Amino acid sequence: MVQTLDYLKETASQTAGPYVHIGLVPGDAGFDIYDHELGRDIAGPKAAGTRITVTGTVTDGTGAPVKDILVEVWQANAAGIYPGKGEVEDGFRGWGRVTPDFETGVFSFETVKPGKVTGPDARPMAPHINLWLVARGINVGLNTRMYFGDEDAANAADPVLTLIEQPLRRETLIAHADGNAYHFDIRLQGAGETVFFDL
């Protein structure tokens, strides 16, 4: 026998289930309980940079919208700084919770466009928003990124996008740009399946 490694094992994930809203966004579940719900305001009123709106739909392997999805976003400010890593504007959280309309499955959130942040080996990464998806039927939260369709040069040099071997799959991470409005659909499975990460 050899010595025992005394590391603990990470607690195994379980699906967030159909009623995730009760715990994380109770207003969506139909009742108010907390003085203020967390994750409703990503950038805050004082954040510098371009105000943007992101809309989209998460669809399953049949093409149906996933109406009970909960998406958490994590992003840097317009200067490319994450809260906790450097000074950011007062009220800039960089984090938020997004749920779609229960009837249509369309989600929407407002924030500021993030700046470039430093990637592995000190190479700059193109502006992006980190996303984490949990829902009924998803056993372990899915990590992905949204890049911006009006950042062609930065995207072409991005160390993460260029890790994706198949050029067509890179496109699944790039939001369609229309001025300050971006459209980003996420496909969990099948044709045009979004790239998900093991972080």
Partner 1 sequence: MSNGDLIQRDRTWHPPALTPDYKTSVARSPRHALLSLQNSDSELTGPTFGQGDIAEIDNDLILNYAKTGDPIGERIIVHGRVLDENARPVPNTLVEIWQANAGGRYRHKKDSYLAPIDPDFGGCGRTLTDDNGYYVFRTVKPGAYPWRNWVNNWRPAHIHFSVFGTAFAQRLITQMYFEGDPLIAKCPIVQSIPEQRAVDQLVAALDLNASLPLDSIAYKFDIVLRGRRSTFFENRPEGN
- Mark residues 69-108: x for contact with partner 1 by CB under 8 A, - for none: ---x-x-x-----xxxx-------xxx------x------
Residue 45 touches partner 1, criterion: CB under 8 A: no
107, 99 Cβ separation under 8 angstroms:
yes
Residue 125, amino acid: M
Q: Give the amino acid at 134.
A: V
Residue 39 tokens read as 């994750």
* Residue 198 sits in the site that holds partner 1 (CB under 8 A): yes
| 199 lies in the site for partner 1, by CB under 8 A | yes
Question: Taking CB under 8 A as the rule, does residue 119 contact partner 1?
Answer: yes
Size of the site for partner 1 (CB under 8 A): 79
- Nearest to residue 145, comparing CAs of 180, 169, 112? 169
Query: Residues in the chain, how many?
Result: 199
Cα dihedral 37, 43, 46, 51 in deg (nearest 10): -130
CB of 29 to partner 1, least distance (A): 4
Give min distance, CB of 66 to partner 1, in A: 7
Residue 112 touches partner 1, criterion: CB under 8 A = no
Contacts (CB under 8 A) with partner 1, residues 154-183: 160, 163-164, 169
Nearer to partner 1 by Cβ, of 163 and 179: the residue is: 163
Of 138, 61, 146, 137, nearest to 96 by C-alpha is 146
Torsion of CA 110, 188, 21, 57, to 10 degrees: 40
Task: Confirm or reject binding of residue 4 to partner 1 (CB under 8 A).
Answer: no
**Sites for partner 1 among residues 120-159 (CB under 8 A):** 120-121, 125, 128, 130, 132, 134-143, 145
- Look at residue 97 and give its three-state secondary structure: strand
Which of 44, 53, 60, 171 is in the footprint of partner 1 by CB under 8 A?
A: 60
